[in-house]
Amino acid sequence: MTVAVVQFGGSNCDRDTVQALESLGIEAERVWHEDGLPADVEGIVLPGGFSYGDYLRAGAMAAHSPIMDEVRDAAVAGTPVLGICNGAQIGCEASLTPGAFTTNESARFQCEHVHVRVENADTPWTRQYEEGDVIELPIAHGEGRFEIDDDRLETLEDEGRVLFRYCEADGTVTPEANPNGSKHSIAGVTGEEGDHVAVLMPHPERATLADIGVTDGQGVLEGFRAD
Amino acid sequence: MSLSDPDRELVTDHLGREPTQAEQALFENLWSEHCAYRSSRPLLGAFETDGENVIVPPGDDAGVVAIPSEDGEDTYIAMGIESHNHPSYVDPFDGAATGVGGIVRDILSMGAYPIALTDSLYFGDFEREYPRYLFEGVVEGISHYGNSIGVPTVAGSVAFHDGYEGNPLVNVACVGLTDSDRLVTAEAQEPGNKLVLVGRETGRDGMGGASFASEDLAEDAETEDRPAVQVGDPYSEKLLIECNEQLIDEDLIESARDLGAAGLGGASSELVAKGGLGAAIELERVHQREPGMNGTEILLSESQERMVYEVRPDDVDRVSEIAERYDLQASLIGETTEDGIYHCTFEGETVVEADAEFLGEGAPMNDLDHVEPAQPERDLPELDLETAFETVVGSPNTASKRWVYRQYDHEVQVRTATPPGDDAAVLSIRKAEQGLAISAGADPNWTAAAPYEGARAVGLENATNIAAKGATPLAAVDCLNGGNPEKSDVYGGFKAIVDGLADICSTLETPVVGGNVSLYNDSVEGPIPPTPTLTMVGTKDGYDAPPMALSGDGTLLLVGGTDDEPALGGSELLAQLGGSDRFPELPADPAELIETIAKVADFESTLATHDVSHGGLAVTLAEMVSDDAGVDVTVESPIALFDEQPGRVVVETTDPEAVREAFDGVAPVQELGEATSDGTLSIAAGEASLAADAADVAELRGVIEEEL
């Protein structure tokens, strides 16, 4: 059993994600997109980076690469899929998850640590936390503003599919704590096939290794641990 | 620009005939100041480039040093630095972006994986529109390229000075990781091996970039020289990084060189010359982006994201397969030869046939006059403490650079234990179980006021940054920027920064393993201040480092420096308020000082550390306070707050006695006062005093963010 971290041309967080998963004792390997998913795949990460140079639109090209058909089939069959940053953009472009991530309100790339509040602790990605917990995660994106039409936004909220919301250190959701102008300060959502599919803009793999500081992201990656 | 008459005569004599069009162009570029260092090489012998840990000294694409390991499996650090000054003036976004691309490929060609970038940027007055436009464009270019290729930008510097008005500087360094098994050099190994060009297609971009970099910027450079600026594609570069990594993994590379200045002609001739070999190249075999290119254009195009590899004949197919896997093209363009002749044909006709070594090494050196710079007299302005504090702490030079590094991905590759914004970044090198501290920069105020002493101060300041985080220097690379060397006063200033930097690095026993020289940074606005950018790395056990921010619970000590009277030469205060002074005295034995600072930084009792440099103690203290922690300190005079003597660190400690003991016989220790828990900066300076709360300080320090 292994977690496949799919490497597209231009992915750049694939090695980081494998390293973070392995530090938690979760077996993982990088899979070059043209090689297809391994037969024993038990989980899939669409990692961060600039797949296809973000040309056209962030995530748009990768969403149409052949391996995404395999990812979609696996998701339908119940395999956990997590899209991080550029992987989140790919997930939305591939309609695995609703909405889209678009240009930050600042119109600039932003690399910094933010606080997010756990909105639904009853998913594989958040069961290590309590609802309302505030955790610190790094972001690094130029196109992380979550956009979605109002009807579907309401459905998402009603169905408890918001994983994380940007917030102040004390958990208050404010416009100032929303780093990119995301609707309802949404940092991550679960997918159309169930909550085993999820995407988020912050980088849990950058908040996992204890020797460089923050470890609040471990709980997200723990979602791949076999029960 | 074309080949000068004396050069042309030398070439004709050597060849025994008139050079062809392609040869003229090749000699013009390879013998330019940018490639041949004709005015600087006579000075560069001053640098100590050797040391017990040096694996590859200067002269290759990048220098390599070892982080020693007890099990004998040393980790190697590859380092290189490059300037992209003129291109960044003409086209700030692309000029800066391709500067990043070029220095990353220098690291690839050593068989190393790039793990960090540093950027030192210099612009004209921040208050003026054009420098601001360049600043924004350059930062965006670096951000775009560096972020896309997944190499974190972890350190750097930004300075504004009138002298850069017509000629900004963009100095980019890259650090990579390799080991003895993976190390590759740019020295061709054997005749009969194949030369394979891998990467993006060759087009007509960046023609004559090397010679463009070797003359003063003309008034109309922005429009006239645009074709000499390359356009980069970070997506291709990332594919090239992955491709190079797999080629190294499978041990398919005999030698490698990236294509930079003077394109294929430069890279391939230097590669074979270094191995004492020649080459036979068929230029039409190069994969091209546009039709109808002639041999000269193919030879000298500076199209980006390309590498040339020496490959054993049996391995050529595998190399092509791997390139194709990463959507890159590979062309078998020729082979290495025994005769030492660099021979290129285009569609069957010989276009270049010249001794490879003569191409690279034949350019005569310039013997230029220089005038020694003089130290200024003391002429100090009236000093009101509050105004001085606001002016200096609120200056864009000393202000927070968060606006810059927030746009750089500084955490990708999950090694960043101390991020930018502190004295030095610290990366975790897990295989060696060592923290790698990285500091980069120079201060034009220092070297404009006193080139020799200022350059020594630059070296000491970078070492102090590293030591303040508990590391000791391992190696450095330098980027020496100067104006038109044919002016004797400009050359005198340049010579002084070379000597100053060389002297301090050798005193610190820090080998300088690579470098770059950029001259002719001169425009209608006049020459730049001589600018010796240094990127220095150091190592420490483990990855933890004391923070810059105060805890609020300790005693504040100022350690290091000398007992000399404070002086304001080269200070931000005089840059803002006018006046002149001699440059501060530097410590006599900085090596022991640096070691002691590093030792004290790692004491259990040390709560925070921050070096004193640009803006002096006033800025250091302002940078240490927060809403939760302030300072209550006393110094002898206002001048002492703005003196920028480097080699000093403010230490917040719970055990002042242990710090005094450590510095006994090494350097002075001065008690400044106490850290407090109220977030107020309270300073008594002789007769004057000052109080500011954390919010006031943050507002002053936020000037760049505020304005852009």
pLDDT at B524: 85
CB distance A52 to A89 below 8 Å: no
Active-site residue flag, A205: yes
pLDDT at B589: 87
Residue B216 has pLDDT above 80, yes or no: no
Q: Give the whole-angstrom CA distance, residue B463 versus residue B538.
A: 8
Q: Give the whole-angstrom CA distance, residue B120 versus residue B114.
A: 18
Among candidates A52, A109, A208 on the partner chain, residue whose Cβ is nearest the Cβ of B235 = A52
pLDDT at B324: 97
User: CA nearest A160: which of A201, A200, A131, A129?
Assistant: A131
3-state secondary structure of B433: coil
3-state secondary structure of B264: helix
Which residues of B are less than 8 Å from A48 in CB distance?
412
Residue B215 has pLDDT above 90, yes or no: no
Q: Give the whole-angstrom CA distance, residue B576 versus residue B579.
A: 9
pLDDT at A7: 97
Q: Do A16 and B409 count as a contact with CB atoms less than 8 A apart?
A: no
pLDDT at A56: 81
Among candidates B144, B234, B414 on the partner chain, residue whose Cβ is nearest the Cβ of A212 = B414
Q: For B373-388, write each residue's pLDDT tens digit.
A: 888 889 999 989 999 9
The mean pLDDT of B21-28, rounded to a whole number, is 95
pTM summary value: 0.96
Distance from CA of A52 to the nearest CA of B (A): 6
pLDDT at B223: 59
Which residues of B are less than 8 Å from A109 in CB distance?
143-144, 147, 407-409
Which residues of B are annotated as catalytic? 34, 84
The amino acid sitting at A165 is R
Kindly list the structural domains of chain A, giving each domain's residue range(s) and its CATH number in brackets, ordered by start: 2-224 (3.40.50.880)
User: CA nearest B559: which of B520, B505, B501, B606?
Assistant: B606
Q: Which pLDDT band, with edges at 50, 70 and 90, does B227 fall under? A: low
- Pairing mode of beta strands A28-32, A2-7: parallel
Q: Which pLDDT band, with edges at 50, 70 and 90, does A227 fall under? A: low
Among candidates B148, B405, B407 on the partner chain, residue whose Cβ is nearest the Cβ of A50 = B148
pLDDT at B69: 78
Q: Which pLDDT band, with edges at 50, 70 and 90, does B219 fall under? A: low
Q: For B99-137, write each residue's pLDDT tens digit.
A: 999 999 999 999 999 999 999 999 999 999 999 999 999
Residue A216 has pLDDT above 60, yes or no: yes
Q: What is the ipTM of this complex?
A: 0.97
